[in-house]
């Protein structure tokens, strides 16, 4: 349809960058008012993605990987354009994760929320950062870096598990004040009143 292979890989990478940016925005909401939130996100995240994503697309289309079929982008023919694409993608993702960790640390110092949840998010971000770095190193044009790719896969799995635990703990803490609310409401309100019956008609 497009005349290029591995478009789905490019779209997936853009979605990952958008997800990292969305997480940063979510954390910034807890830290700043609306005016500073918009300024900080535009200054440190939005401008970066506005430049990086078109450059990624240009490097991807110019590379041989988009012109020839291979199993996936990691096994595609390696050339200078594909290396530039990978440098842009992994560089942007490493920056976004690092900025998210910085915002989390600021949030933790101000203690706007549960520190246990923030610590879990920080651990997940640290694992993700290590995975991004190892994945980037493993894309170098060498053949003895497969153990790094396998380690990066383990770190990615660990990061997802820790993030899932953090989100679960966050949800449970938010729902704690409402524990037992349905039973209390039912006990106080009781069943709805019955409609009064119409008097029987007399002959």
Residues 6+ away with beta carbon under 8 Å from 23: 100
Where do we find the tokens 């209390």? 184
Torsion 22-97-101-120 (CA) sign? positive
pLDDT in tens, the chain (203 residues): 566 778 888 999 999 999 999 988 888 888 777 777 888 888 889 999 999 999 999 999 888 877 777 767 766 777 888 889 989 999 999 999 999 999 899 888 886 557 888 899 999 999 999 999 998 887 776 656 678 878 988 999 999 999 999 989 888 888 877 776 655 554 454 555 555 555 555 54
pLDDT of amino acid 198: 52
Q: Where are the beta strands (DSSP E) in the chain?
A: none
CA distances from 48 to 22, 31, 53, 99, 107 (A): 14, 21, 8, 12, 23
pLDDT of amino acid 147: 81
- The helix/strand/coil state of 194 is coil
Q: How many other C-beta atoms can be found within 10 angstroms of the C-beta atom of residue 72?
A: 11
Tell me 77's DSSP state. Answer: P
pLDDT of amino acid 126: 94
CB contact at 8 A, 5 and 69: yes
N residues, the chain:
203
pLDDT, tens only, 67-111: 777 767 766 777 888 889 989 999 999 999 999 999 899 888 886
pLDDT of amino acid 95: 94
pLDDT of amino acid 186: 45
What's the pTM? 0.79
pLDDT of amino acid 12: 92
């Amino acid at each position: 349809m497009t005349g290029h292979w591995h478009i789905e890989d490019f779209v997936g990478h853009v979605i990952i960058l958008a997800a990292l940016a969305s997480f940063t925005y979510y954390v910034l909401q807890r830290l700043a008012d609306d005016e500073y939130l918009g300024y900080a996100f535009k200054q440190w995240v939005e401008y970066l993605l506005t430049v990086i994503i078109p450059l990624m697309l240009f490097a991807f289309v110019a590379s041989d990987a988009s012109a020839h079929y291979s199993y996936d982008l990691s096994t595609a023919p390696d050339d200078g354009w594909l290396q530039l694409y990978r440098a842009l993608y992994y560089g942007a993702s490493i920056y976004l994760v690092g900025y998210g960790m910085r915002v989390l640390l600021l949030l933790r110092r101000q203690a706007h929320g549960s520190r246990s949840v923030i610590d879990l998010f920080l651990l997940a971000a640290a694992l993700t950062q290590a995975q991004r770095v190892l994945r980037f190193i493993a894309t170098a044009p060498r053949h003895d870096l497969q153990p790094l790719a396998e380690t990066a896969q383990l770190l990615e799995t660990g990061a997802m598990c820790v993030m899932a635990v953090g989100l679960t703990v966050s949800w449970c803490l938010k729902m704690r004040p409402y524990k037992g609310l349905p039973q209390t409401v039912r006990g106080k309100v009781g069943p709805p009143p019955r409609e009064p019956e119409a008097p029987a008609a007399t002959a």
